[in-house]
Structure 1
Amino acid sequence: MKSFLCLLTITFALFALTNATEVKKCSKSTARALTPDEVTISSCPENKCTLKRKSEASIEMKIKPERDFSELNSDIQGIILDVPLPFPGYYGTSACPYIYDAEGKEKVGCPLKAGETYTYKNTIKILSIYPAVSLVIHWGLGDKQGDAVCFEIPAKIKA
């Protein structure tokens, strides 16, 4: 019976890993790397996000900053052939309106305190002007001194 339970646990763990969004640490960021269970993006149930033009994608992620942040700005870019292209309407905007408590229920905004856990929830529009292309999405939240959180994911935009 113990062997069966052990096998069942391993099977579920492997299934969870193969269905998790592939989240990579940003190469130029000193922020703590996020794990796949700390980031949820609609249209990204497996290793590559598939984003359809003229639709929306929602994101939810946990943030536990290593220092205080009085303000938090979005650094959301699509990287195509190593060229970063800002997502219009999102790059450089305030992330404070999208900051919730650790459970994601109550909006708390900024400032963020070091060591506290917060939830970032937002929805982005996949505009019809975006090309149908494979890319890497770079998603950072921070200030001029550095990131509170940053990750990158492989994605594909389709018609």
Structure 2
Amino acid sequence: MYFWKSICLLALIASIQATQVKKCPKNSARKLEANEVTISNCPKNKCTLKRNTKVSIEMKVIPTRDFKELNNDISGILLDVPLPFPGIYGTSACPHIYDAAGENMVGCPLKANETYTYKNSFDILPIYPTVTLEIHCALGDGQGDAACFQIPARIK
């Protein structure tokens, strides 16, 4: 009985820490599960990103093809208009690619069907307006994405 209670408690803790993610529209990257994405201060329903803080992100990446290079495509979508996050949008994601366990940095290239972990952090700048928006997070190259998800968020 104690064993099953422990299992249920661990599952509950994991579900609280996981961020509910949505598949990116018009994107061929595989859908990420909630347990494959962790964003600091982001409960399951909606992220609240506080200005003048740093947000960390960790996600599993399992590309469906080989990638020589990966770039960050992280933006806020407001009224269907993507607004790139300054300082991170368009930068190389390669320095933030780790092995599947997230322990050893491996960088690029990435091989098809191998599991990697992306770990990064970025500032929520004081100039960002207090708005409700959708966060779009993709890693890819000019031919497509290795990983992509979207989450509802609020900047405050």
TM-score of the aligned structures, taking structure 2 as reference length: 0.91
- Give me the whole-angstrom Cα distance separating, in 2, the residues matched to 1:12 and 1:123: 26
Compared CA separation, residues 11 and 78, structure 1 to 2 (3 A): same
Q: Which residue of 1 aligns with 2:73?
A: 75
Q: Which residue of 2 aligns with 1:141?
A: 139
Q: Which residue of 2 aligns with 1:28?
A: 26
Compared CA separation, residues 17 and 100, structure 1 to 2 (3 A): closer
1:37 corresponds, among 27, 32, 35, to: 35
Over aligned residues, Cα RMSD in angstroms? 1.9
> Which of these two proteins has the greater Rg computed from alpha carbons?
1
Compared CA separation, residues 58 and 19, structure 1 to 2 (3 A): closer
- Give me the whole-angstrom Cα distance separating, in 1, the residues matched to 2:11 and 2:119: 26
Tell me the matched-pair count.
Answer: 156
Residue 46 of structure 1 and its aligned partner are, at CA, apart by 2.8
User: Residues 98-124 of structure 1: CA distance to partner in whole angstroms, max 9, x if unpaired?
Assistant: 001111111110000001110000001
Q: Which residues of structure 1 form unaligned runs of 5+?
A: none
Q: Is the 8 A contact 1:19 1:47 kept in 2?
A: no
Q: Is the 8 A contact 1:62 1:120 kept in 2?
A: yes
User: Residues 3-31 of structure 1: CA distance to partner in whole angstroms, max 9, x if unpaired?
Assistant: 99879967875775466412000002100
1:102 corresponds, among 100, 113, 117, to: 100
User: Residues 68-113 of structure 1: CA distance to partner in whole angstroms, max 9, x if unpaired?
Assistant: 0000011111001111101111111100000011111111100000
Partner AA of 1:50 in structure 2? T
Compared CA separation, residues 100 and 8, structure 1 to 2 (3 A): closer
Q: Which residue of 2 aligns with 1:155?
A: 153
1:120 aligns with 2:114: no
Compared CA separation, residues 126 and 30, structure 1 to 2 (3 A): same
- Give me the whole-angstrom Cα distance separating, in 1, the residues matched to 2:92 and 2:5: 46
Partner AA of 1:67 in structure 2? R
- Give me the whole-angstrom Cα distance separating, in 2, the residues matched to 1:134 and 1:7: 38
Compared CA separation, residues 116 and 47, structure 1 to 2 (3 A): same
2:129 corresponds, among 121, 128, 131, to: 131
Between the two proteins, what is the percent identity of the paired residues? 65
Q: Is the 8 A contact 2:37 2:59 kept in 1?
A: yes
Q: Is the 8 A contact 2:15 2:44 kept in 1?
A: no
Partner AA of 1:83 in structure 2? V
Q: Is the 8 A contact 1:137 1:155 kept in 2?
A: yes
Q: Which residues of structure 2 form unaligned runs of 5+?
A: none
